[in-house]
Amino acid sequence: MAKFTVSSCSFPFILLLFPFYSLTLTLIAKPISSSSLQALNTTIPQNFDSEIALFGDAADGGSYVNLTGGSASSSGLLLRRKPFKVADANLSNPASFSSELIFSITPGNGDGIVVVFVPGDLGSRFSGKGPFGLGGENRFLGIEFDTEMNENVNDVNANHIGVNVGSFVSLTVGNVTALNLVLNSGQKMKSWIDYDASSKRLEIRLSKLGEPRPYNPIVAHGIDLLAMWKDKDVYVGISSSNSNGSSSQISSVYSWSFRMRKVPRMHSHPVNPRGYLDDQHGGNPGLDNRMACPLSILAGIIFMTGCGALVSFVMLFLWAIIVNRHTVFPAEVLPDEFPVKPNPTDFRYEKISVVVEEDADADGVKK
C-alpha cells in the first residue's frame, strides 16, 4: 500500500476537495451484481445506512422499512450490501461483531423476522420463496424471531427466539414469554446480537424499546464462525415472510446497525504499532505524529509534576521528623521576686504516740 504525507499547509486545500472526492467515490461504487440489481428497490429511508438495499416486497415506509406487505406469500429482505470477513487470508485475527435492531411485528399469523448471515452474495440468491424467502439456501446462520409454532423445527411456542444453522431447525431456543413480551404484539422492541470470536459465543438480548439493555441474554449459543466461513465474504440482512396462505403480518424495521470488532493477536516479541496506526489513518504517518506528539508531551508533564510533588512531600516529612528529634527546649527560669511556692497539695505523715491513763477508784484499783 502506498503511503503519503500531508503537510500542514496543504490540509485546508484537501478539505476543499473533500466533497468532490466523496462524490467521485459514490459514482464509481461497484454494484453487488447485475442480477441483484433487477430486484433492488433503490428507495430507502433517509435514516438508514446508504449501504442498505431492499429486495422483494421490502418497501420504504418513510422513517422505517416494511419487510412484508400484509398479504399471503409476501417476503422481503433488508440487506447490507457491504460484506465482511470473520478472518483474514491467513485465518488469523478472527473478528467479533455486534448488531442492534429495532423492529415490530403486527398481530396475526406469519413467520416473524430473521437476522441472517450468508457467505456469498445473498442479494443475487434471494428467491422470495419459502420461509423468510430463503428457499434452497443452506449455508446460513439465522437468529429467528419466530411467531409460528412448528414442532418439526424444535419450536417451543409461537413466541420465541431461535438460533438456526443451515436449516430452520433451531439448535438453541429462548422463550420470549419468560420476558413478559409478545413478538407479534405490534410493540416496538429492541434486540442486541453479539458474537465474541475469542470465546466463540453468540448472545441475543431482547427488551421493549426504551428499556435498558438486559444483563443476561435470552439466548446464548456456542459456535465457531471461523471454522464455518473461514475467509469468505459474508453478507448480513434482515428477512421476513408470510409463507402460509393465512398469513397477514407486517414486519417493520425502524433502525439497524452492524459493527465489526477486531482484536490483534498478542505476540511474545515486540511488535511495531506503527502498522496499525497507519491503517487507521489511511497510511498517513504525519497525521499520527501530529496526534501523538501533543498527547505525549501532556502525559509527560503530568507524570513529572506528580513525581515532583511526591518527592517534595517525602522530603518535608523526613525533615520534620529529624528536626523534632534533635530539638531541646530550655528550662524556664523564674525570677527571684517570684519564689516557688510549695504545692498546696503536698503533705507528710507523722507518727503520733497517744498515752491513755486510766482513773483509779478510792481503793487504788484502776478502772
The predicted-structure confidence for 122-178, as pLDDT tens digits, reads as follows 776 676 676 777 766 778 899 999 998 887 777 888 999 999 998 888 999 999 999
Nearest to 108 by CA among 239, 206, 253, 244: 244
The DSSP letter of residue 329 is P
Please, where are the H alpha helices in 194-249? 225-229
Nearest to 57 by CA among 239, 180, 321, 287: 239
How far, in Å, CA of 168 to CA of 136, rounded?
12
Mean pLDDT of 54-65: 86
Instruction: Quote the pLDDT of residue 65.
Output: 92
Instruction: Quote the pLDDT of residue 121.
Output: 77
Instruction: Quote the pLDDT of residue 224.
Output: 94
Distance of alpha carbon 322 from the chain centroid: 54
Please, where are the H alpha helices in the chain? 11-27, 34-37, 122-125, 225-229, 274-280, 285-325
* pLDDT band per the 50, 70, 90 thresholds, residue 102: very high
How far, in Å, CA of 9 to CA of 15, rounded?
12
Instruction: Quote the pLDDT of residue 326.
Output: 61
Nearest to 70 by CA among 79, 78, 61: 61
* pLDDT band per the 50, 70, 90 thresholds, residue 283: very low
Query: Apex CA 128: angle with CA 72 and CA 122, to 5°?
Result: 150
Q: Which pairing describes strands 75-80 and 52-56: parallel, antiparallel, or unpaired? A: antiparallel
| Domain range annotation of the chain | 28-264
Instruction: Quote the pLDDT of residue 192.
Output: 97
Report, at the CATH architecture level, how domain 28-264 is classified: Sandwich (2.60)
How far, in Å, CA of 110 to CA of 231, rounded?
35
Instruction: Quote the pLDDT of residue 188.
Output: 96
Share of the chain above pLDDT 90, in %: 29
Task: Retrieve residue 96's grid coordinates.
Answer: 467479533
Instruction: Quote the pLDDT of residue 222.
Output: 96
Q: Which one is predicted more confidently, 3 or 188?
A: 188
* pLDDT band per the 50, 70, 90 thresholds, residue 101: very high
pLDDT in tens, 332-353: 555 555 455 555 555 555 556 6
Nearest to 358 by CA among 347, 367, 349, 348: 367
Instruction: Quote the pLDDT of residue 275.
Output: 46
pLDDT mean across residues, the chain: 74
Cα dihedral sign, 199-204-210-213? negative
Nearest to 52 by CA among 78, 84, 27: 78
Choice among 186-195, 261-270, 308-317 with the minimum mean pLDDT: 261-270
Nearest to 185 by CA among 284, 110, 101, 79: 110
211: burial class by Cβ within 10 Å (0-12, 13-18, 19+)?
Answer: exposed
Choice among 98-107, 204-213, 309-318 with the minimum mean pLDDT: 309-318
How far, in Å, CA of 193 to CA of 256, rounded?
11
pLDDT exceeds 60 at position 28: no
